[in-house]
Amino acid sequence: MLCDNCKERDAVVHLTRIVDNAVTQLHLCEKCAAAKGVETTLSVPQHPLGDILQAVQQQASATSEDAAACAFCGATARDFRATGRLGCPHCYDAMEQSLRELLRRLHGSSRHVGQRYDAPVAHMVDKPDTLHDLRDRLRRAIDGEQFELAAELRDRIKALETEPV
């Protein structure tokens, strides 16, 4: 059902209003509901799994992100929708916008307020890619038909292989 207000997005908030003994129903999307100052209950999910799948489905409209693959693991937003799982830590940056929204829906917040973490000093600089890692990533990119990424990885492997030891 579409939102009564914007007629674009799905209605997720259903209001029953009684004015002069007449009952009217108002169906709003989350954005329009928020604009009208209506508190939504989405921040307290009743069934986490159902909610995540629903929220992931609702992001289907973000088609521009679908094609873009994470430069590290080659996962796409479409992969995420199919499995409910991200491909690697870098996916959080690759899909930052939509993830922020999803996290807000799932947890009622998208900002970590707990313990901070600093990686051990020896690992502060990214470890150089090993041939093993790059080959694994290349195979994954090919499996996922991420050919642009595959070409880049192939070049990096070639460069590493020809590097003087």
Q: What dihedral angle (degrees, nearest 10) is formed by the CA atoms of 125, 126, 128, 130?
A: 150
CB nearer to other proteins: give 22 or 113. 113
Q: Which residues contact 131 (CB under 8 A, 6 or more apart)?
A: 157, 160, 161
Among candidate residues 64, 73, 110, 117, the one with its CA nearest the CA of residue 91: 73
Q: Which residues contact 155 (CB under 8 A, 6 or more apart)?
A: none
List 44, 64, 164, 165, residue binding other proteins (CB under 8 A): 44
Q: Could you say whether residue 84 binds other proteins (CB under 8 A)?
A: yes
- Binding status of residue 17 toward other proteins by CB under 8 A: no
Q: Return the residue of 34, 139, 148, 158 that touches other proteins, per CB under 8 A.
A: 139
Does residue number 14 form part of the binding site for other proteins (CB under 8 A)? no
89 near other proteins, rule: CB under 8 A: yes
Nearest to 74 by CA among 133, 130, 139, 132: 139
Token pair for 90:
């870098």
9 vs 107, which CB is nearer to other proteins?
Answer: 107
Residues lying near other proteins in the complex (CB under 8 A) are found at 44-46, 48-49, 52, 72-73, 75, 83-89, 92-93, 99-100, 102-103, 106-117, 119-120, 123, 126-127, 132-133, 135-137, 139-140
